[in-house]
Amino acid sequence: MKLSLLVKRIAFLVVVIGIWYLIYAMNVFEDIIFPSPTTVASALYEGFASGDLFSALGASFRHLFSGLFLAILFGTLLGVLLGKSREADETAGMYLVALQSIPSIVWVPLAIMIFGFSEAAVVFVVVLGGTFVMALNVRSAIRSVSPQLLRAAKTMGVGGVSQFFRVEIPASVPYFMSGIRLAWAFSWRALMAGELLSNGPGLGYSLRYAQDYARMDQVIGIIIIIGVIGAVVDQIVFSKLEKNVMKRWGVL
């Protein structure tokens, strides 16, 4: 990251915290509703010092990785099916878009009815949150392969299954990486929705627990953690990985 960009982001954060302090000092809201940045920082310190937030983070990432792996697997298989079969795409393709547009929180009651208030219900919501967006990107990736590239492969004696693995899959890698990045983002949001209504460990459950006991400092602190993790993982891992792949494939 360039130094100038880092300075700009830090300066923006300082301004936001300054405005936060100003609103708090003006006593526009009661302390229990609008805590100061110092109070929120203290609540976060207590949570990490006691180990509660570390346990919640561990549980959330366990749910996330389990669900994200399955979402990428199922989404890839479904996307390949729709991308390679016109009949399947014409019959089920439009419903894939409809399923992808359903908010993750909508799947929670279904998950609870099937799995009860268990960690399996949370993983189920995460899987549904990431599968459909992954499938849409894989379908687009398969369809985006240049017809000229396929014809050139055929003239060189590469066809059928061999063409799919040696030509279509390598050509689809940039779109596949974009799908993984989106699947991560959708799965992370789905995870929070699932954990909010679960009885198991996780950041979402900790957030609901803090809300039940009117601990607004903890609520805001956990919201900050969720946002920071989402942004940091996207920028440090998936964004860089996607850009590197696209540069290597000559897309950028």
* Cβ-proximal residues to 93 (8 Å cutoff; 6+ apart), any chain: 82, 139
Fold of 50-248: MetI-like fold (1.10.3720)
Residue of 92, 179, 181 lying closest to 138 (CA atoms): 179
Per-residue confidence of the chain (252 residues) as pLDDT tens digits? 566 777 888 888 889 999 988 988 888 777 778 888 899 999 999 989 988 889 989 989 999 999 999 999 999 999 888 888 888 877 877 788 888 888 888 888 888 888 888 888 899 999 999 999 999 888 888 887 776 766 777 777 666 677 777 777 777 788 888 888 888 988 998 988 888 877 777 888 888 888 888 889 899 999 999 988 888 888 888 888 878 877 877 665
User: What pTM was computed for the model?
Assistant: 0.83
pLDDT of residue 1: 56
pLDDT of residue 173: 81
Structure tokens at 100: 């992808």
Measure Cα distances from 167 to 152, 158, 173 in Å. Answer: 10, 9, 11
Structure tokens at 45: 């310190």
Structure tokens at 57: 């983070």
pLDDT of residue 152: 74
Structure tokens at 99: 């399923």
* Cβ-proximal residues to 117 (8 Å cutoff; 6+ apart), any chain: 198, 199, 200
- Report whether 82 contacts 88 (CB < 8 A): yes
- Report whether 194 contacts 63 (CB < 8 A): yes
Would you kindly state where each structural domain of the chain is located, as residue ranges? 50-248
